[in-house]
Amino acid sequence: MLLLGLSILHLLEDKTAVMAKVYDMLQPGGLFVTSTMCLGDTMAWFKWIAPIGKFLGFSRWSKSLRCKNLQIV
């Protein structure tokens, strides 16, 4: 089984809970492939702009992730 979750991790409020659910869904030997933007590494100022965009209705909630905060297993 292969599950894809592309460009979504930065949109999750509780990525730990979602990752636990994905893990439960995987069959033995299954793979979860994901990619996401690490805006905290390239555009640190984004964490200050994103809440304003959400407040004004221009964007959804988004978290400014850094690569060091994502664990690769």
pLDDT in tens, 17-72: 888 898 898 889 898 888 777 666 677 677 777 777 778 877 665 666 666 666 65
pLDDT attached to residue 41: 67
- Per-residue buried b or exposed e for 32-54, using 16+ beta carbons within 10 Å of the residue's own CB: eeeebbbbbeeeeebeeebeeee
